[in-house]
Amino acid sequence: MQSIDSLRELNTKLLAKIAELRKENAEIPELREKLLKFAEVEAENARLKQIIEENARRDAENAELKSRVGELEPRLALLEQGSAVDGMALSFGQTQNDEETMPVVTVPTVDAPDSVIDQLNNEVGRVPSDLDGNDEEMVDFLDEVYKKSISNKIRERRREKKQRDQETPVISQDVTKIPE
């Protein structure tokens, strides 16, 4: 009888073990589901971190480019203004490098004392320095002349266009009336 009791005891232990294993097996799908959700969340986090880093890089690049544009716009304005002034200055005896060119004047030979020649040389030497004080006025004048020349060019182009437009209908009417 002892063997029956021991078998019953063993059977009870095995039933308890089976119940425990079933409980663990029931938890495994839940754990797998939680693990999959965790993996998905981790993947999403990694993707979002990458997007954040990319946005930060773009923001830094954008800020750098805005800074560079901020630096270059005034330089461009100066260059455009300088090229307009240089274009007008050429007609007033200056070169592209803002170097003043002195006109060549031929003077007949005259006997004059050296003191008079020295005075003339001193006066000629002073003229460019006098221009330095009037640079702002010169720039304003050249700017005004440049604007007037642009305005005149625009008027001339409009006039030419108007003439072309008036000539075009006359030509097309002549073409449509072909004699038979």
Measure the CA–CA gap between 159 and 165, rounded to whole angstroms. 10
Q: What is the mean pLDDT of the chain?
A: 78
- The one-letter code for the residue type at 92 is F
Q: Is 141 exposed, middle or buried (0-12, 13-18, 19+ CB in 10 A)?
A: middle
Mark out the alpha helices in 91-180 (DSSP H runs): 114-133, 135-176
Measure the CA–CA gap between 101 and 92, rounded to whole angstroms. 9
Measure the CA–CA gap between 142 and 140, rounded to whole angstroms. 5
Q: Examine the pLDDT at 11 and tell me if it is beyond 80.
A: yes
The mean pLDDT value for 120-134 works out to 51
Residue-wise pLDDT for 54-108, tens only, equals 999 999 999 999 999 999 998 888 888 877 666 665 555 544 445 445 444 444 4
Residues in the chain, total? 180
Share of the chain above pLDDT 90, in %: 40
Q: 154 pLDDT band (50/70/90 cuts)? A: very high
What pLDDT, on the 0 to 100 scale, is given for residue 135? 76
Nearest to 88 by CA among 138, 152, 135, 127: 138
What pLDDT, on the 0 to 100 scale, is given for residue 85? 66
Per-residue DSSP letter, 102: P
Task: Check residues 128 and 151 and name the one with the higher pLDDT.
Answer: 151
What pLDDT, on the 0 to 100 scale, is given for residue 47? 97
The mean pLDDT value for 25-45 works out to 91
- Residue 100 · residue 131 · CB < 8 Å: yes
pTM of the model: 0.34
Q: 133 pLDDT band (50/70/90 cuts)? A: low
- Residue 83 · residue 74 · CB < 8 Å: no
- The one-letter code for the residue type at 97 is N
Measure CA 20 to chain center.
71
The mean pLDDT value for 129-144 works out to 72
The mean pLDDT value for 135-147 works out to 85
Structure tokens at 20: 């425990």
